[in-house]
Every structure is written in C-alpha cells, then in structure tokens.
Amino acid sequence: MIRVVKIGGNVVDNPEALAAFVREFSMMPGPKILVHGGGKEATRLSGALGIKTTMIDGRRVTDEATIDVVTMVYAGLVNKRVVAKLQACGVNAVGLSGADGHVITATRRSPEPVDYGFVGDIATDGVNVGFVEMLLGNGLIPVFCAITYDGDGHLLNCNADSVASAVATAVSEIDDTELIYCFEKPGVLADAGDDHSVIPHITPELYQTLKQTGVVSGGMIPKIDNAFKSISNGVKRVVIKEASALNNETQGTVMSL
Amino acid sequence: MIRVVKIGGNVVDNPEALAAFVREFSMMPGPKILVHGGGKEATRLSGALGIKTTMIDGRRVTDEATIDVVTMVYAGLVNKRVVAKLQACGVNAVGLSGADGHVITATRRSPEPVDYGFVGDIATDGVNVGFVEMLLGNGLIPVFCAITYDGDGHLLNCNADSVASAVATAVSEIDDTELIYCFEKPGVLADAGDDHSVIPHITPELYQTLKQTGVVSGGMIPKIDNAFKSISNGVKRVVIKEASALNNETQGTVMSL
C-alpha cells in the first residue's frame, strides 16, 4: 500500500502543527509521498513585496511576478523547511517541483474564460511514475510542492489537492494507493457545528443522498467530487482527516466504492 | 569522467547568458553535476523586503529573515528556473538542497570571531555520495543550490564554490572528476587588463611563482587555493573558464598537478 498525504497551509504555516505532523508522518509505515500547499505564506510574501493577490474561485491569478513568488515560497521556503524537518525525524525526504526529474508536466490553462496566467492543469499522463517508483524503490520519500512545469522551460502554479490526486492516481499503477487529505476538521461532518458528527464512510450512493439532503454542501463538494474521481481512476480509497490523527485508523471519513 | 560545473550570479541573473549556458551544458557529454549561486537575486529580494544585507569577507551574514530569503531564492526561484530550462533542453535535472536525500550536511559556523548566523561549513564526510551516485546511475543530473542543512532540521546558507568543491571531492571516489568554475573572464589572466592573456595551465609550482611575482593576487588567490585543495583531495583537475565556452577545450585555465 502506497500512501499519498496532502497537507495545507494550516499545517505548514504553524511550527507546532508542522512538528506534530512530521512526527506522525515519520511513524506511518510503508512507502509514502507527501504533497504540501503554502498559499497563506505566498499571500504574505506578495503583500510584503507590494504584489496584489487576486483569487478567482479559489485559484490564484498568477502573473509573472506571482509565479516567482509562489516558486520561492512553495518550492523554496516551505518545501525545504518540510524536507529538513522530515530528515531530522529520520524520513529520507526529497523535495520536488514538477520540473525535477520531469516528474509532473502540466498544460497552461487557456486564458478563456478567465486568464489565470501561469496556472497549469496536470495532464492525464502528466506524472512520470517511473521516477517516483525509482525514488520509492531507493527508500526515498518524495515531497511535492504545487509548482509544475510545461516541459518547455516554464514553471506553472498548480493546486496541491490536484497534485496529490494526480500523483496518487499515477502511483496506483504500482500498488494499492490510499490518498489522505489532511483537513482542519476531523472528517466530513454530518453537522457542521459538531466535530463529533464525522461520517465514517461515504460510498458514491451515500454521497448522492448527502448532496440531495444538503448535508454536504459548499467547498466540500469539489473535495468529495475529486476524491471519487481519484477512486474511479484507480486510487483504492481517499481519507479526509486531521493531520494530527494521521495514524489513527478510527478517525476521519473514508471514501471508497 | 564526472564533470562538476559551478555557475554564479553573472549567469543565473541574466536570461540570455543562462539560455546560452544551458545549451552548452546540455551538449556536454558524460555524467555531470551543476552547482549554482544566486547572490545578486537574494540581495535584491532582501532589499525589496527591507532586510539589510551585510557581507563580511564575501560571506552573507544570515540572520533568521535572511535564511528564509536565500532559501526562497536559491532553492526556489533560481534552482527551479535552472532545472526547468535544463529539462527543456533534454537534461533530466533534479534540483537539490543539502536536505534533499540528506545529500549535504554542514555544521553551523561558530559565532566566534564573527557571528555569520545560519551559515554552514560542509564537513569532510558531509556529502552523501551514495545518493549522488544513485541519481547519476539513473541518468539524472543533480543541480545543487548553496542551501545545506545541519541534519537536525535547520537549513544553513553555504557558498556555491564550497558546495562545488565538496561535491567534486566526494564524487571523485566514484570516478575521475573535473571541476569547472565558470567565470566572467576566459580564465586566469597574466595581465588583468588583457582577456587574451589567459594562463593555460597552472601547476602548484607555477602557482607559487605567480603569487610571488604578483601576477595572481586579490580574489583570485582563495579561488586557486580552493582549486588545489580540491585536487589534493582527489579531484583530477580544476578549470576556470567562461560559461559560454564550456565545451571549448582550448579555453580556460587548467589547474592540475
């Protein structure tokens, strides 16, 4: 079983949360891959440099100044900080952008209807699974940031959730794969105000009901849609849980067929 | 023969010079490793963020704000820019800081007599040559920035010349190794004002004479001292030449026994 874990800004921006996560991740058995975000830090650096941050539908409009900012923050500051902390916990991590080892190629998004600038979408065959397999086979733990490239010298900004999904789908060719999205909440909640109302298991059938009854709504819908898309593309199961509960098998919401 | 090439700010800061270098590097046969600087860009970012840059004896005093800046610039912006350009020229590059694959460990420099902050010196056995060999054996081209780490979770600022020398010395255990320092001048000049006065070959004996007669002076002395130190530690030869003449065997100054 290969586990692909995605962490977001709530973990990488908080030294204590990151330290706790790194300990959990280091104890997780078997081959594993980490994918991280870092959007808050990028927004902070843009602000300090007087570069305006524009988000449309949750995606950062990435002009020339902004692709430099996100490359610095995601591939530099956050990626190396995470790798150094993992190494200190005995995890032989290797930080990667999509350009490294030609590991993830993406296509720059069409400027119509919205021009996002240097934003890329990962192609179906965009992950160089041979390179990932070679690293895992040598006991190395890939740590991906959300910077990809077009194969022609240009870096592209991507979305860490999409990178995690693409990588998990690709490595599911090698072995059974579990994709874990670390979340601020202990899972998908039946009652948004009650952290004890985690729905332990969502099948495609239950998901339809949950949507119809409005239990699942808003930003949770694209997350679960993506989860089932990953599953229909080969991932065995997708789990949404808290970063601090990574090794707690009883926590979180499991999505599977 | 393994070739370790070091490029500095005059190449990485200039898009045309970088494009020309990348073409030359892609045509260089055999296993190869790239090490890059990026100091000017780091100074620029520090300035834009209102962080004061202090250099003592050519080394950047690296406080907490500055280690973040150099990590962003060296390991993020410059490293990924170079890797993406190399990939576009068919070079299967993988960008690395010292933390990635635990490849270079350094020791934080003593705060006495000068407190440089988060500045590291690479230990004699600080290069994980097995990891480098594994990458080369898989047809991958390591691209090192000058960020190292202490093995205990802390990133350290290093000097790209020192990284190049340490890496070349380490890989000389695997195969004959040539270390090439790309320079703004076509080599070591007998007459500083005449670019046609390149000294083609310097032996340790000639070097003593050149120093005594004052032909070699100033900033060239630590460079050549380092070159002969690398040679006495196992590197076959060290070449100082222009980046654009990488594959021109008749250009440059060769240092060897």
Q: Is B140 on the interface with A (CB under 8 A)?
A: yes
State the best of A13, A64, A102 to mutate against chain B, taking most chain B CBs within 10 Å.
A102
pTM score of the predicted model: 0.97
For residue range A227-239, list pLDDT tens digits in order: 999 999 999 999 9
Q: A80-94, B65-79, B218-232 — which is least confidently predicted?
A: B218-232
What average pLDDT does the segment A144-152 reach?
A: 97
Which residues in chain B have Cβ-Cβ distances shorter than 8 Å to A73?
A: 72, 76
Percent of chain A with pLDDT over 70: 100
For residue range B139-192, list pLDDT tens digits in order: 999 999 999 999 999 999 999 999 999 999 999 999 999 999 999 899 999 998
Which residues in chain A have Cβ-Cβ distances shorter than 8 Å to B101?
A: 92-94, 140
The neighbouring-strand residues paired with B53 are: none
Please report the ipTM that was assigned to this predicted complex.
0.96
The CATH-assigned architecture of domain A2-175 is 3-Layer(aba) Sandwich (3.40)
Residue A64, Cβ density class (10 Å: 0-12 exposed, 13-18 middle, ≥19 buried): exposed
Chain A, residues 120-139, CB within 8 A of chain B, namely 134, 138
Residue A218 has pLDDT above 90, yes or no: no
Measure A80 CA to nearest chain B CA, in Å. 7
Which of helix, strand or coil describes residue A103?
Answer: coil
Distance CA B181, CA B254 (A): 10
Contacts for A28 with CB less than 8 Å, ≥ 6 apart = A3, A5, A246, A247
- CATH fold for domain B2-255: Carbamate kinase (3.40.1160)
Q: With an 8 Å Cβ cutoff, are A80 and B71 in contact?
A: yes
Q: With an 8 Å Cβ cutoff, are B76 and A72 in contact?
A: yes
Contacts for B106 with CB less than 8 Å, ≥ 6 apart = B98, B120, B121, B122, B123, B126, B148, B149, B150, B156, B158
Domain boundaries along the sequence of chain B? 2-255
Tokens of B36: 């890059």
Q: A219-223, B2-6, B234-238 — which is least confidently predicted?
A: A219-223
Nearest CA in chain B to A77: B72
Which residues in chain B have Cβ-Cβ distances shorter than 8 Å to A34?
A: none
* The pLDDT of residue B222: 86
Q: With an 8 Å Cβ cutoff, are B83 and A95 in contact?
A: no
State the best of A25, A46, A77, A152 to mutate against chain B, taking most chain B CBs within 10 Å.
A77
Residue A135 has pLDDT above 90, yes or no: yes
